[in-house]
Structure 1
Amino acid sequence: MSEQQALSQIYLDANATTPVLAKAAKAALSTMETMFGNPSSSHISGLQAKQIMDETRNKAVKVLGAGSGQVIFTSGATEGIQTGILSALYAAKKSMQADKEYSILYGATEHKAVPESLKHWNKILEINATVKPIPVDEMGKLDMDFIAKEVPNALMICTMAVNNETGVYQDLDALELVIRGNNANVFWMVDCVQALGKRCLELASTSIDYAPFSGHKLYAPKGIGFVYIRKGAPFTPFIAGGGQEGGLRSGTENLPGLAALNVIFDELLEQGDGVFASVGQLQLFRTQMALALKNAFPTVVFNHDFTNSVPTTLNFAIPGFSSKEIMDLFDAANIRVSSGSACSSKVTRSFVLDAMGLPAWQSESAIRMSFGPAVTQQQIDQACDRIAHCAQALGHSCLLNAMGNIDEKSQLQGLVQFKVGGSCTWLYADPTTKTAVIVDPLPELTNRLLTILQCQQLQLVAAIDTHGHADHQSGRVELAKQHLAMQHTNHLGWPEEVAKIELDGQSYEAISIGDKYLLRIATPGHTDDSISLVLCDKHKLQHGQLAVSYVFCGDLVLMGSLGRTNFSTSSAQLMFNSLKTLFDLVGDDALLCPSHDYHNEFVTNFAAERSRNQLLNGVLMSQLSEQQFMQNKADLDKNIHDQIGEEVMCGAFTSSCNQKRLQEYNTPELKAKLNSTPGVKLIDIREPHEYALNHSQEFDMNVPLTRLADFICQQQCNKSQELILVCRSGSRSQVAAQALNRLGFEHVGHLKGGYALSQAT
């Protein structure tokens, strides 16, 4: 392994969970080994265990300012949430009037555990109140006017002290005035999970009825938590059984967890080793981190205001980069961050930022960095240095104009695929002549494409759309303004001054790019202006032979379907003829590069599509008449879902590819395979910036997903080569292996779990 791979881990995902404090872990282990008695037992071992539990509870009361309120130990915050909600709603049901409509209120940015639990118990208890989210403003503050209006008819209101994604805190005193001023009897629960150790809590001086907490968010082990119950607040046990916790929460107490909490409470009460930084110091740490991000990524946007958020959370977005791209980048640098809430494994839009009314791109690109109060100046310094290194790595990939010393810039050669959702942009670069052509440029990628052209010192020959797009505006105009101001083109960007090429008695317009020609083929059908662009060998074409590298077919052929023909400018009849024309020209094996890739299949060819698309096969094999195709195509288009999310779908998907079962390896199996089988190629398919930050010397090559199409083209004549693909988590290597498999590569496998599991082995 390289020295880069030995980089120490920088953990910046404390809002998801924290490492267990060394002293807390030691206390838990010691308790398991020497103080393992059951606190309910009356013998000496039990009495010793009960002393630990009582001592921890007394400290919890002091930490929370609980006064005469109760502190009940739980398995974690989720159980505490259930306890509060069940207790409140069960009591509220008794006072409901038959002819009155009721509501249950919760903050729109609450952790999902709260609204989902409210809906669950509302149904189970047959209360059937309307569960309503409380809106927030652009700073994440709850709408006080909404609360004042709605709370008089509310059975329960749930708010949070500190948001887990943004660190935004609510003004609990102001909330109390509005809530109690409009409904003195409504039950009020406050999720205090992220507030512990970051905000001062004096719960007994408030009218908060329930407040859940979690140990693992503040350096205690997972599986221990506690809930505050205000004196006089109704209580219904969530867990019944042996009567532990005075009958309030049954089940044998988690004594090791309590021993660990005991240590954490000592730190919070300033009776421990002083490992927790002050709020002032934490604010300085945040300022330092924010400055590091601004210096590394000058366009960074912070998604919350620092004036009303705790200093241990930074939520930000970098224009032009998805949250997954930045997570992969940071992971390669051994920095652990998350996209929004880590309680969901899927990287999606942040509902918290959506509720705050932030632009969609910020929600989709959100990254959360969070640290705990035990963080040190050294760790912050290391994190800031590593962040700068990440920016340098993006400069290595020419995705950011950054100065640095990470090897040489990764030179573009051949085809690169960029995606936004299911839409594709294709860039072909010839490093010898320093020229490039861009096909179907998406507006979201304009800045990235301009940066690449500048960084690689490429001259843009043409920016061309394969048709007028219904689902987005083209980015071609802005690219042309910057690079092709003097070029005269048609409405799709095809230049007026081009070469004329003769082939088999047909004349084609062509653009020269290095040793290739880009031929323009009229292929109407999806739209009346649809074209296909065929990239082929210039020398062979001049001798009457068409050697195709790629076919940019727009929405004529999609992976698993055909482009829709139910637009006002569509024609199934013209598509029938276009399919035949293109197939007769390029054949079964030429790589087709559509303008959409909805299922991460990258590229395809007519052979692969014919095998799973009976309609296409019927046309190309002359099994269907023009009229039959038109009828079948109309039936197919009836299956189109006009929109998925914010994307207009350009084809109906009714067929799937029968994949061979992939060979999956775990780390020991992979090592054994490499030792026993000569000639196997081990390929890292992460992006160049990830590879530059962290890679092993044993890899044969780096083939990023964005350049997989180019690799497939180069390997067309060697599909029997045994290949094993590796990425960070195994997800990218799996889809890449499936794509190779589908296109006829015979021996393709991947490392299941990727580096994430191999490094833990």
Structure 2
Amino acid sequence: MAPDIYLDANATSPVLPAAIAAAVEAMETQFGNPSSSHATGLRAKRILDTTRARARRVLGAGPGRVLFTSGATEGIQTAVLSALVAVRERRAAGEACGDLLVYGATEHKAVSESLAHWNRLLGTGLTLQPLPVDAAGRHRLDVLRELAPRAAMVCTMAANNETGAISDLDGIARVLRECAPKAYWMVDCVQALGKLPLDLANTRIDYAPFSGHKLHAPKGIGILYVRDGAPYTPLMIGGGQEGGQRSGTENMAGIAALGAVLAALEEGTTFRGHGELAALRDRLAAALREAFPAIVFNAPFEHTLPTTLNFSVPGVSGKDLLDLFDAAGVRVSAGSACSAAKAAPSYVLDAMGLPPVRSGNAVRLSIGPLADAAFVAAACARIRRCGEALRAPFLADGNPGVMQVSADGRHGWIVFDAQRCVAIDAPPEQRGRIAALARDAGLNLLDADAADDGTVALDDGSHAPCMKIGGAVLARLPDGYLLGAADAGRLPRTAVRHVFGAIVAARLARVAHDGAVRCHRADVDGLPCATLAARKHDGDAAGQLQPDALEAFLRRHEDALLVDVREAFEAAAGPMALHGRAARNVPLSRLAEHVAAWLSEPARPVVFVCRGGNRSAKAALCLRRAGHTQAWTVAGGLALA
């Protein structure tokens, strides 16, 4: 299997080999407690002091505080706590200090939620006020000028994690100097380290949190810079470590690893510079344009980090794009990694005024400053493969079929053969996609109600207008459709394979048999389709195979059918083979057309696999409820198998 192409560096980054070596040495031979006065402790303290000195130089910290934290979130919490405690004390002393907590509308949620949390706990009673951004994702300085006189604290980013938009920190500083000289200013510098010049002591910035794992250090280590003279309240009190400013035994392995990264930054030859990274970004953008000609980039390159590309592809959902890239071994993300599990439009892109269809389907691609030309060339080749896979016609296999199309929890169905394509109950949002699928496959898209191939007799004595689809007929009833093999103008109930629509149960029992597959307009009992005789949900679950048990299971069951339920474009981008056995691709959207065949071999195990295990679990559950006790899903999917 080809190695992964990791293009999600804004979420986290691989650890620098020198950092790994430094961490291992700190754990194996320099493992002392830096608070201990014996020789072993003093050797550990030397690592602590050396790394802090390097951090001061890299950040341009001057006389400011440089504290080691667990990461940026702790740094943000500490900065907000420190500022709000000072605000409360100043107000208690009768000093005017503003009534607003101003934060950029595109800030990481750790900032806005921290402001709300400490404002509530400290009882400061300030008003949280988002600062809007323009279409490029940069803070509206005109609005800041209006808000600044009332600001007790202002929180902005150096560069945005989703779009890479670089803030005009000099412009913000000018406004604060002129309009809010006593307001505290925190700048989230997580995406700035190693990508933007830093000279913090010569800025107006009071607090600047950093996170090591965004620049090739391990997770769990960060830095907080506090300007000399800015108020400070420890978040954690106890053992007096960090000069009493942050208690808790220091993470010496993390600090040593961070020291190696900082040393590489100082040395200046390990990481790529801005110009080199911009050239690599341009190559990636060109490959994306070639792969997806309709692509739109969601932030202008001239105002973004050269390591970040945020884009949408009209007509293609963000989920489909993520699945496509993942199938090809290309790791990208949708927006912030911290919010990736939440199916919602990007609040960052919403704040920039992008249409919901772009915001909701955006993808972020990000590289780190270790990227080189060879790595980017390999990434571009994979990206082009993704474009080819997406353009492959999904309905062009020449065989009649049934395909599910869905939007916002509603399902429509496509019935097709080598010449015709009929859409049933199609969600409005999917009509354009259906037309494109038909066009790409060279099929004639017909209206399901335009049944013009005569009538067919049903077993309840009625006649229904019908349309020929391959060797079957689609019969139109007042409240739904039947698909099956007609004989001499008659569609026996035993020949009905699929049922669509809301045909009432009493009539359905007379015109279709229990083994027919009902294709729902929305999930019923957790599934988009089921046989008419399927058991209702009673706590049953799909049979699960743990990844480490899969190989033994396949050896025991040589006749087992391994089924890849990823969509066709995913299989085209990255075919699936496990333990020497190639998987047959039957997309979950095509499950309904294969259920009957699998049920005809009830003793043959069917093992479903997908990317993460969710789709394969649905397929296995559908078959199990229909009575196939040898239907299995691989827990965790291909990612763990």
* TM-score, structure 2 as length reference: 0.94
Question: Is 1:541–1:547's contact at 8 Å kept on the other side of the alignment?
Answer: no
Aligned-partner SS, 2:436: helix
For the pair 1:13 / 2:8, whether they are aligned, the reply is: yes
Q: Relative to 1, partners in 2 of residues 1:661 and 1:444: Cα closer, same or farther, differing over 3 Å? A: closer
Which residue of structure 2 aligns with residue 467 of structure 1? none
Aligned-partner SS, 2:414: strand
For the pair 1:695 / 2:621, whether they are aligned, the reply is: no
For the pair 1:378 / 2:259, whether they are aligned, the reply is: no
Within a 5 Å distance, the mapping from 1:597-746 to structure 2 comes to: 597=523, 601-608=527-534, 657-692=537-572, 693-696=574-577, 697-699=580-582, 701-746=584-629
For the pair 1:552 / 2:500, whether they are aligned, the reply is: yes
Following the alignment from structure 2 to structure 1, what is the Cα–Cα distance between the partners of residues 397 and 178?
Answer: 63
Within a 5 Å distance, the mapping from 1:474-553 to structure 2 comes to: 494-495=449-450, 497-503=452-458, 505-523=461-479, 532-539=480-487, 541-542=489-490, 547-553=495-501
Aligned-partner SS, 2:570: helix
Question: Is 1:662–1:748's contact at 8 Å kept on the other side of the alignment?
Answer: yes
Q: Relative to 1, partners in 2 of residues 1:593 and 1:295: Cα closer, same or farther, differing over 3 Å? A: same
1:19-77 CA distance string (max 9 Å, x none): 01111211221222222222222222222222222221122112111111111111111
Following the alignment from structure 1 to structure 2, what is the Cα–Cα distance between the partners of residues 9 and 721?
Answer: 34
For the pair 1:391 / 2:347, whether they are aligned, the reply is: no
Give the drift of 1:370.
Answer: 0.5
1:244-280 CA distance string (max 9 Å, x none): 11111112222222222222222222x25x1211100
User: Which amino acid in the other structure matches residue 11 of structure 1?
Assistant: Y
Following the alignment from structure 2 to structure 1, what is the Cα–Cα distance between the partners of residues 221 and 583?
Answer: 47
Which of these residues, 415, 434, 447, is aligned with residue 428 of structure 1?
A: 415
Aligned-partner SS, 2:487: helix
Question: Is 1:20–1:219's contact at 8 Å kept on the other side of the alignment?
Answer: yes
Q: Relative to 1, partners in 2 of residues 1:66 and 1:101: Cα closer, same or farther, differing over 3 Å? A: closer
Following the alignment from structure 2 to structure 1, what is the Cα–Cα distance between the partners of residues 491 and 67?
Answer: 85
User: Which amino acid in the other structure matches residue 468 of structure 2?
Assistant: S
Which residue of structure 1 aligns with residue 243 of structure 2? 246
Following the alignment from structure 1 to structure 2, what is the Cα–Cα distance between the partners of residues 599 and 330?
Answer: 31
Which residue of structure 2 aligns with residue 573 of structure 1? none
1:164-212 CA distance string (max 9 Å, x none): 1110111001111222322211111110000111111111121211000
Give the drift of 1:507.
Answer: 2.6
Aligned-partner SS, 2:228: coil
Which residue of structure 1 aligns with residue 300 of structure 2? 305
Following the alignment from structure 1 to structure 2, what is the Cα–Cα distance between the partners of residues 303 and 415?
Answer: 36
Question: Is 1:721–1:746's contact at 8 Å kept on the other side of the alignment?
Answer: no
User: Which amino acid in the other structure matches residue 368 of structure 1?
Assistant: R
Give the drift of 1:454.
Answer: 3.1
- The worse-fitting range, judged by mean Cα deviation, of 125-134 and 196-205 is 125-134
Which residue of structure 1 aligns with residue 631 of structure 2? 748
Aligned-partner SS, 1:36: coil
Give the drift of 1:459.
Answer: 2.7
Following the alignment from structure 1 to structure 2, what is the Cα–Cα distance between the partners of residues 680 and 208?
Answer: 63
Question: Is 2:486–2:492's contact at 8 Å kept on the other side of the alignment?
Answer: no
Q: Relative to 1, partners in 2 of residues 1:127 and 1:540: Cα closer, same or farther, differing over 3 Å? A: farther
- The worse-fitting range, judged by mean Cα deviation, of 18-27 and 591-600 is 591-600
Structure 1: runs of 5+ lacking an equivalent = 1-5, 400-408, 465-493, 524-531, 558-577, 613-656
Following the alignment from structure 2 to structure 1, what is the Cα–Cα distance between the partners of residues 414 and 11?
Answer: 39
Following the alignment from structure 1 to structure 2, what is the Cα–Cα distance between the partners of residues 178 and 522?
Answer: 68
Which residue of structure 1 aligns with residue 51 of structure 2? 56
User: Which amino acid in the other structure matches residue 316 of structure 1?
Assistant: F
Aligned-partner SS, 1:369: strand
Question: Is 2:33–2:44's contact at 8 Å kept on the other side of the alignment?
Answer: yes
User: Which amino acid in the other structure matches residue 330 of structure 1?
Assistant: F
Which residue of structure 2 aligns with residue 32 of structure 1? 27
Following the alignment from structure 1 to structure 2, what is the Cα–Cα distance between the partners of residues 374 and 205?
Answer: 28
Following the alignment from structure 1 to structure 2, what is the Cα–Cα distance between the partners of residues 194 and 412?
Answer: 51
- The worse-fitting range, judged by mean Cα deviation, of 663-672 and 210-219 is 663-672
User: Which amino acid in the other structure matches residue 387 of structure 1?
Assistant: I
Question: Is 2:87–2:97's contact at 8 Å kept on the other side of the alignment?
Answer: no
Question: Is 2:565–2:615's contact at 8 Å kept on the other side of the alignment?
Answer: yes
Aligned-partner SS, 1:728: coil
Aligned-partner SS, 1:26: helix
Within a 5 Å distance, the mapping from 1:200-279 to structure 2 comes to: 200-269=197-266, 271=267, 274-279=269-274
- The worse-fitting range, judged by mean Cα deviation, of 385-394 and 692-701 is 692-701
Which residue of structure 2 aligns with residue 23 of structure 1? 18
Which residue of structure 2 aligns with residue 592 of structure 1? 518
Q: Relative to 1, partners in 2 of residues 1:411 and 1:60: Cα closer, same or farther, differing over 3 Å? A: farther
Following the alignment from structure 1 to structure 2, what is the Cα–Cα distance between the partners of residues 365 and 35?
Answer: 48
Within a 5 Å distance, the mapping from 1:81-96 to structure 2 comes to: 81-96=76-91
- The worse-fitting range, judged by mean Cα deviation, of 98-107 and 301-310 is 98-107
Which residue of structure 1 aligns with residue 404 of structure 2? 417
Aligned-partner SS, 2:348: helix
1:99-118 CA distance string (max 9 Å, x none): 99822121111111111111
Within a 5 Å distance, the mapping from 1:74-85 to structure 2 comes to: 74-85=69-80
Aligned-partner SS, 1:96: helix
Question: Is 2:452–2:465's contact at 8 Å kept on the other side of the alignment?
Answer: no
Aligned-partner SS, 1:372: coil
User: Which amino acid in the other structure matches residue 513 of structure 1?
Assistant: I
Which residue of structure 2 aligns with residue 619 of structure 1? none
Q: Relative to 1, partners in 2 of residues 1:368 and 1:544: Cα closer, same or farther, differing over 3 Å? A: closer
Aligned-partner SS, 1:750: strand
Which of these residues, 299, 309, 312, is aligned with residue 314 of structure 1?
A: 309
Give the drift of 1:157.
Answer: 1.5
Give the drift of 1:756.
Answer: 0.9
User: Which amino acid in the other structure matches residue 511 of structure 2?
Assistant: L
How many aligned positions are there? 634
Which residue of structure 1 aligns with residue 63 of structure 2? 68
What is the root-mean-square deviation of aligned Cα atoms in Å?
Answer: 2.3
Aligned-partner SS, 1:178: helix
Question: Is 1:424–1:442's contact at 8 Å kept on the other side of the alignment?
Answer: yes
Aligned-partner SS, 1:602: strand
Which of these residues, 117, 121, 134, is aligned with residue 120 of structure 1?
A: 117
Following the alignment from structure 1 to structure 2, what is the Cα–Cα distance between the partners of residues 115 and 588?
Answer: 55
User: Which amino acid in the other structure matches residue 36 of structure 1?
Assistant: F
Following the alignment from structure 1 to structure 2, what is the Cα–Cα distance between the partners of residues 520 and 410?
Answer: 26
Identity of aligned residues (%): 44
1:283-315 CA distance string (max 9 Å, x none): 001111000000011011111111111010001
Following the alignment from structure 1 to structure 2, what is the Cα–Cα distance between the partners of residues 543 and 159?
Answer: 68
1:598-621 CA distance string (max 9 Å, x none): 77512135444xx65xxxxxxxxx
Structure 2: runs of 5+ lacking an equivalent = none
Which residue of structure 2 aligns with residue 440 of structure 1? 425
Following the alignment from structure 2 to structure 1, what is the Cα–Cα distance between the partners of residues 491 and 439?
Answer: 35
Following the alignment from structure 1 to structure 2, what is the Cα–Cα distance between the partners of residues 77 and 752?
Answer: 33
Give the drift of 1:498.
Answer: 4.0
Following the alignment from structure 1 to structure 2, what is the Cα–Cα distance between the partners of residues 292 and 710?
Answer: 36
Aligned-partner SS, 2:134: coil
Question: Is 1:353–1:363's contact at 8 Å kept on the other side of the alignment?
Answer: yes
Give the drift of 1:440.
Answer: 2.6
Which residue of structure 2 aligns with residue 617 of structure 1? none
User: Which amino acid in the other structure matches residue 594 of structure 1?
Assistant: H
